Amino acid sequence: MTDDLLVQDEAGQVIYMNDRACEILGYTRDEIVGRPVTYFLDPAGIKVYQEQMVRRKGGFEADCEGKTSREIGDLLFISFRTVNRHRSSIMQKPHIKNSTDLVKYAIENGYV
């Protein structure tokens, strides 16, 4: 069985879901894409989502301050390997090629 996958844009709108995620939520892809992620969450889930977004913003801020992966991990209570995976994922965006682009992205999208 494959994992479910949901991708959101910077505004929190669903831009992609794989078949497994559609199956789990019980919606077709057309019914999901374009809606806010929070549309599919109950009040407790919305709270968790909002807390995670705050943590994500904190990670961007720490990255922009030049903190190491280990320092960011300690700040967010996650492994430095998790920080590196998230950083690598962000760096896969076509317009982000280096740390300067990453900082610019964070500023333009309101993370810092």
Other Cβ atoms less than 10 A from the Cβ of 5: the count is 11
Do 101 and 53 lie in one domain? The reply is yes
Query: Which of 5-14, 58-67, 83-92, 99-108 shows the highest mean pLDDT?
Result: 5-14
Do 17 and 29 lie in one domain? The reply is yes
Mean pLDDT throughout 57-84? 76
Helix (H, G, I), strand (E, B) or coil at 28: coil
Number of structural domains found in the chain: 2
Identify the residue with better confidence: 66 or 48.
Answer: 48
Do 17 and 48 lie in one domain? The reply is no
Q: Residue 4 carries which side chain, given as an amino acid letter? A: D
- Identify the helix (H) or strand (E) that includes residue 90: helix 80-91
Do 34 and 85 lie in one domain? The reply is no
- pLDDT at residue 1 is higher than 60: no
**87 pLDDT tier (thresholds 50, 70, 90):** confident
Do 31 and 71 lie in one domain? The reply is no
> Going by C-beta distance under 8 Å and a sequence separation of 6 or more, which residues neighbour residue 85?
none
Percent of the chain with pLDDT over 90: 8
Do 56 and 16 lie in one domain? The reply is no
Average pLDDT of every residue of the chain = 80
Asked whether 69 and 46 are in contact (CB, 8 A), the reply is no
Do 96 and 63 lie in one domain? The reply is yes
Q: How many CA atoms lie within 13 A of 63 on its CB side?
A: 28
Asked whether 69 and 87 are in contact (CB, 8 A), the reply is yes
- pLDDT at residue 66 is higher than 80: no
Do 35 and 55 lie in one domain? The reply is no
Do 101 and 80 lie in one domain? The reply is yes
Do 66 and 104 lie in one domain? The reply is yes
Question: Would you state the structure tokens that stand for residue 20, as one six-digit string?
Answer: 């497994």
What domain range is 89 assigned to?
42-112
Residue 88: give its domain's CATH number: 1.10.10
- pLDDT at residue 34 is higher than 80: yes
